Structure 1
Amino acid sequence: MDPIPSRRYLVLLCQDRKQEAFRALKELTGGQVTSIATLAPDGELPRAQLTDQCAVVFDRIGVALLRCGEEKRRLLAMAAQESNPAILAIELERQVRAMARPKDIGIPVTPSNDPESLAAYLKGYRDAVNEIVDRALERQGPAAIVHPPSTPPDEASMSWGVHVTRSAVSTYNGRGVKLAVLDTGLDLTHPDFAARQIVSRSFVDGESVQDGNGHGTHCAGIAGGPARPSAGPRYGVAGEVELYIGKVLGDQGGGADGSVLEGINWAIEHGCHIISMSLGSSLESGQNYSKVFEEVARRALAAGTVIIAAAGNESRRPELIAPVSHPANCPSIFAVGAVDQALQTASFSCAGLVPDGGQVDIAGPGVQVLSSWPVPQRHNTLSGTSMATPFVAGIAALHAQSDPALRSRALLNILVQTARRLTQPSRDVGAGLVQAP
């Protein structure tokens, strides 16, 4: 018997040695190994009921979710480090959470027109042309695009985020592009989504896709809300994108790596071009990025899918600047920081402080952002890198629609190339503010 209680682990398998990996898992753990696709016609997995030494493999991304004790974990770790080419890595499963600022949850929409707020808003439209963003443009050919001065939005017709990202003037709407939002689900009864054909799935035990939290509905609204909502100003970017809603966080806003990876597996299987993840967990001192999530992100890119994730809200600027959170700190995951109406880095937004991974790639609107909310409230304003992330994901869908060649890394490259340069360092805002084509 194992000396300590069993825990859940992520095991990275070699995609070219799938059968060998299955055999190795069985031999090393002495337990049952099952493919997610064979569990049931719809592939549903009772994650909370994983028994000891039981592993479930997410075939498309080549990762197993395993429950075992320390003795078995050591055997797998030794196999990954030494002798078995089919087992590449093993990591403890982490808990993750929604990346909105908790104190903002549930605050009603209160648009402000006071002179002080308007002055701060207008101040944000100075166009300072920075030197070329060092890290972001090292991999780019074309020169940076300099955008002309902006004019204030008509707040009755569109949110400030839709305006400042130029989404309102784009000729694209995301039609024909598949975008997955992995979050707390969606209010499927919401009038702004009731007529949409939405593919959805819950990866949370005992909970349906119906959003009992609000965070997922808010994020989905930013990425794919309609150009003409049922009430109020426009808040969505890609109003005709094909939405895939994966519930990977429970109604309390929390979840675990296993559900997130299963959601990624599902999105790739459905051919999604973009995955938006406004979730994560903070890093401990000296903690590196996840080898499992990094390899999954690479495999997603090889399949034509980009993963865009929130950089995190742990900073308390100027006193404390925190590093980019897990899993956005993986080099192959596109990390999104947040700016406010003045186009200044949000006080909570994490920064690229770690040389090996952990960079911020781009920034999006993330302070007092209007979007959809479960009925009866219907709309709400929230703050967080959670809000900035679906702006980037939705605009990625517009770019993907504009040119079928813009897929995988080419899609991420165009986001960097067309970003609006800001005065802040790239560690805070990456290439700058995301811009619609």
Structure 2
Amino acid sequence: MTKYRVKVFFMHEREEAAASAAENEATLTETEWTESYVIGVVDSKDVSRLTRDGLVIKPIEIIESRSDASSSAIAVQRTRVRGGGPAAGVPRGLARMQGPRLLASTIADKGADEKIISEDAHRPQFYIVRLNGPLTEKRRGELNDIRLIERLSSNRYTCRLTPREVRACAELSFVDSIELYSGADTLRVADAERGGEPFSREHTFRGQGTVSASPRFTLPHAVRMHRAEDLPRVERWLRKEGAKPVVTHPDALRVSLRQGSDVLIELSRLPEVAVVEELQPPRLLDRMAREILGIERSGKPQHRFEGEGQIIGVADTGIDDSHPDFKGRVIGISALGRPNDHSDPEGHGTHVAGCALGDGARSNGDVCGAAPKAKLFFQSILDANGGLGGLPHNLETLFAEAYQKGVRIHNNSWGAFAYARYSEMSLDVDRFVAAHPDMLIVIAAGNDGIAVPREQGAKVNAHSGFVDWPSVADPATAKNGLTVGASRNSRTSGGYAMLTWGEAWRENYPKRPIASQKVSGDPECIAAFSSRGPSDDLRIKPDIVAPGTDIAAAKSSQAALYKFWGAYPNNPHYAFMGGTSMAAPYVAGCAALVRECFQKEGKWKEPSAALLKATLVNGTRRITGACAVAPLPGEPNFHQGFGRIDMAASIPGSAAPGLSLAFVDTWKTPAQILKRTGQRFRYLITVGDRLPMRICLAWTDPAARGLQNNLLLLVDNVTGEKFVGNGNAAAVLNIAGMSYDRNNNIQIVRIDKPKSGGHTIVVLAENLLEPPQTFALVVTGDLKSRPSLVSELFPEI
């Protein structure tokens, strides 16, 4: 009989009583209680019994007996370091993987000495400590002065421990293992000498391939410390080695080093260093779209919002500000790449701006962006060499300039292929949004989707003739940004629309079915070039998709026609382009419409980025093409994320009669901020059955690679039927009747045929490393709530 350590969640008092009865009957043992769930051990045979009582069960780990552990080679050798830094290649406990579904295993009744896998017996060092569950308030108190620095994955944390603290930590019942943080944890580069693993070691997918070790190049590397106070020491070490560091953050620097060099390897072994990663240079990510997005139908707007009063920021090649489609709406231009020169010889920036907010002045409104009454602040990042040298080393500088100009939605149609890694630029995005929760940063997912191995002889994850994954770019792996992939346009002529993918890019798409499909024409399909997820810590990316093939938008008069996919018929002011570069600004424009809606209809003057993100994701429509639902299956999945933008289902308008929207946005509501692990907020809302009911929870997480603060969305109806956020997501852990998405800071519940009557919505703090935690919650449907309760909990539109 398999035993699991689990979390048992209860939404109502009767369910809490059922959990208590299970404890009294010894069905649930080794319990620890919080306000909204209990941690305990259960036999697999009893899981269904608990769920019948209305309890939601999520697994933490498999608990094996010592005989089982011996047969499965789970026991690990202990390593002690007596001098120098942490040893590389320390043996690790094995975890069970089914595809990318990971569940930790542990041995029952471990002794303190068994928990210490490796240690430095003589001085303080950095360690990885694994807990056997979340960081509850009780556990936080028992840790005393031991500070957990960063949550790596699941229940693994970094911390700095003295030899005495290692021993004290091992004595704690909820600590499962302690091991030195080593060079294997630090170095995140694709290097053949390390087995060609471009992902970090916690999660590796089949067939990532290898990267040739020859030739070796000198490349910029980002170096991040565990603690900001250790940065000067690492700077001194690098200077002594003849390297010149450039400081980009209080806890991070950049330095140019040769791939595979001794200096690079030794740098990764410095105890103070948390991450060393290669930096690839950023590059551009290249009225039908409006209809696909649900903004208009048959040429008629579906709602009255056009982005009025909103300022969209765009960082791109340059802007032809003389283009009539932007007349009177450019509030400022910053020439970051070429001093005093913001021209657009590439045409990319002008086209991107046109997708976001062009008003179609020179096309009688036929070629119109998503938010034609929004204003524009533009940051030109094209340098004199044709690169994106105008991007600052610290992206927070870029975003801060725009924020000061009043920008609250910022588009970035550029990125760097980095094997889906969470890198320095991703961290910059997360840091800025965490510090400025009302700034939504929209990021193109990348154009690195291909249907062939990236290296000769490498295997792929996708089936033959389908686009491989993962390939999402950097900084599109950021948690707090909104990452946008590209779906196909419905256009059947113009640009590349008549070509098949095999005709247009045969080397990337040589086999059927993708080779024989048209570049445009089927809006139910994903653009073949669109980068897929997940990120290297299994988060769903992209978040959403929007049309990105054969997009007509403003053409820079300074750009040659060959820079584009083709000329727009009979009108030199426009041209066709394609890429996630075009999909992203359409989404930025849609975000401006949502923000305007909240300000005008919701009387909410400062919507958070999480609220805008939750609203857009909540309204997405799952597209059904075989490429969009290819393995791994689930909703959301790695190809289309949560689906394609559908403004008609996102905010009330004529396209969806009777649709109501209710929301909670706690960043300005202190009474509804989660302050401790286990805390919950419970909302009651009444709905009718005329429309689907949709609920989306989103939160801005503290900046770091994995989720630092985990929240959970639970919903039930009048019959007690339960719905769990992201219960059907790709890469969700499914085992013994339990499911668990522990990776994403967006969660959805979609009920196509809701039962009329009251519904309970619970948002709870499953695990908080860095409290307090704000969140945004959006509900749409045929809402019938009593005004007194709804006005107290949900502003209603």
TM-score (norm: length of structure 2): 0.39
Please say if 1:363 is aligned against 2:545.
yes
What letter matches 1:97 in structure 2? R
Query: Is the Cα contact below 8 Å between 2:540 and 2:638 reproduced in 1?
Result: no
The residue matched to 2:473 in structure 1 has which SS? Answer: coil
* Residue 53 of structure 1, aligned match among 244, 259, 268: 244
Contact 1:6 1:67 in 2 (8 A): yes
Amino acid at match of 1:266: E
Alpha carbons 2:426, 2:474 under 8 Å: kept: no
1:166 to 2:294 alignment: yes
CA contact (8 A) 1:179 1:397 kept: yes
Question: Is 1:413–2:614 an aligned residue pair?
Answer: yes
CA displacement at 1:219 relative to structure 2: 0.5
Give 1:369 shift.
Answer: 0.8
Match for residue 94 of structure 1 among 280, 286, 296: 280
Alignment-mate amino acid for residue 182 of structure 1: A
Normalized per residue, the structure richer in helix is 1
Separation of aligned partners in 2, 1:234 and 1:291: 36
Q: Does 1:180 align with 2:321?
A: no
Within the alignment, does 1:310 sit opposite 2:522 as a pair? no
For the Cα contact (< 8 Å) 1:312–1:337, is it kept in 2? yes
Evaluate the alpha carbon distance shift between residue 67 and residue 406 of structure 1 in structure 2; reply closer, same or farther with a 3 A threshold: same
Mapped partners of 2:583, 2:231: distance in 1: 39
Kindly indicate whether the alpha-carbon contact (under 8 Å) linking 1:331 and 1:358 is maintained by their aligned counterparts in 2. no
TM-score, with length taken from structure 1: 0.68
Letter in 2 for 1:273: R
Opposite residue 398 of structure 2, the aligned amino acid is G
User: 1: distance between equivalents of 2:420 and 2:556?
Assistant: 37
Within the candidate set 409, 413, 419, 1:278 is matched to 413
Do the aligned partners of 2:415 and 2:473 also contact (CA within 8 Å) in 1? yes
Residue of structure 2 aligned with 1:10, choices 219, 222, 226: 222
User: What are the within-5 Å matches in structure 2 for residues 210-225 of structure 1?
Assistant: 210-225=343-358
Structure 1 CA distance, aligned partners of 2:305 and 2:320?
Answer: 25
Instruction: Report the Cα distance in structure 1 between the residues aligned to 2:265 and 2:380, rounded to whole angstroms.
Output: 32
| One-letter amino acid of the structure 1 residue matched with residue 344 of structure 2 | D
CA 1:68–1:431: 2 relative to 1, 3 Å: closer
Give the deviation of 1:74 after TM superposition. Answer: 6.5
Distance in structure 1 (CA, Å) of the matches to 2:340 and 2:223: 26
User: Hey, what's the Cα distance between the residues in 1 that align with 2:344 and 2:369?
Assistant: 18
1:328 aligns with 2:476: yes
Of the candidates 250, 254, 273, which is equivalent to residue 387 of structure 2? 254
1:381 aligns with 2:514: no
| SS of structure 1 residue aligned to 2:361 | coil
| Aligned partners of 2:449 and 2:467 also within 8 Å | yes
One-letter identity of the residue aligned with 2:642 = A
Q: CA deviation at 1:361?
A: 0.9
Counterparts in 2 of 1:77-88, with a 5 A limit? 77=268, 82-83=271-272
Which deviates further from its counterpart, 379-388 or 416-425? 416-425
Counterpart CA distance in 1 for 2:306 and 2:541 is: 29
| 1:266 equivalenced with 2:266 (yes/no) | no
- Please say if residues 371 and 381 of structure 1, whose CA atoms lie closer than 8 Å, have aligned partners that are also in contact: yes
Look up the match of 2:696.
none
Aligned match of 1:430:
641
Shift in CA distance, 320/417, structure 1 to aligned 2, threshold 3 Å: closer
CA displacement at 1:346 relative to structure 2: 1.6
The structural deviation recorded for 1:239 is 2.1
2:486 aligned with 1:338: yes
Q: 1:429 to 1:7 in 2, by over 3 A?
A: closer
Question: For 1:257-291, what per-residue CA distance to the aligned partner results, in whole angstroms no more than 9, with x for missing partners?
Answer: 646824334334545322211112334xxx45133
Cα offsets for 1:147-200 (capped at 9, x unmatched): xxxxxxxxxxxx101122132423222233332212112112212224223322
Q: Rg: which structure is higher?
A: 2
- Cα 1:13/1:346, change in 2 over 3 Å: same
Q: 1:316 to 1:92 in 2, by over 3 A?
A: closer
Q: Secondary structure at the match of 2:330?
A: coil
Give the aligned residue type for 1:219: V
Hey, what does 1:292 align to over in structure 2?
424
- 1:215·1:253 contact (CA, 8 Å) conserved in 2? no
Distance 2:380 2:573 in 1: 19
> For the Cα contact (< 8 Å) 1:371–1:380, is it kept in 2?
yes
Unaligned ranges ≥5, structure 2: 1-215, 452-464, 491-521, 559-571, 599-604, 630-636, 652-797
User: What CA distance in whole angstroms lies between the structure 2 residues aligned with 1:392 and 1:301?
Assistant: 18
User: Cα–Cα, structure 1 residues 315 and 229, in superposed 2: closer, same or farther, change >3 Å?
Assistant: same
Amino acid at match of 1:390: P
User: CA separation in 2, counterparts of 1:339 and 1:78?
Assistant: 43
Give the CA deviation at 1:24: 5.0
User: In the TM superposition, what is the alpha-carbon distance from 1:331 to its structure 2 partner?
Assistant: 3.5
CA deviation vs aligned residue, 1:213-242 (integer Å, no higher than 9, x gap): 00111011111212x423351321112323
Query: What whole-Å deviation, never above 9, does each CA across 1:382-405 have from its counterpart, x for those lacking one?
Result: 111111111111101111122235
Superposed, 1:128-167 pairs within 5 Å as 159-167=287-295
How far did residue 301 of structure 1 move? Answer: 2.1
Give aligned pairs, total. Answer: 343
Distance across 1 between alignment mates of 2:335 and 2:363: 28
The code of the aligned residue for 2:280 comes to R
Q: What is the Cα deviation at residue 314 of structure 1? A: 2.4
What's the offset of the Cα at 1:64?
4.8
SS in 2 for 1:429: coil
The farther-off stretch of 384-393 and 176-185 is 176-185
Q: Which amino acid aligns with 1:231?
A: S
Maintained 8 Å contact 2:311/2:409: yes
Classify 1:336/1:253 alpha carbon distance in 2 versus 1 (closer, same or farther; 3 Å): farther
Cα distance in 1 between the residues matched to 2:307 and 2:447: 28
Amino acid paired to 1:94: Q
Aligned CA RMSD, in angstroms, stands at 3.4
1:8 is displaced (CA, Å) by 3.4
Secondary structure of the residue that 1:254 maps to in structure 2?
A: coil
How far does residue 253 in structure 1 lie from its aligned partner after superposition?
5.8
Maintained 8 Å contact 2:338/2:384:
no
Correspondence for 2:590: 395
> What is the CA distance between 1:360 and its match in structure 2?
1.7
Change (3 A) 1:54 1:316: closer
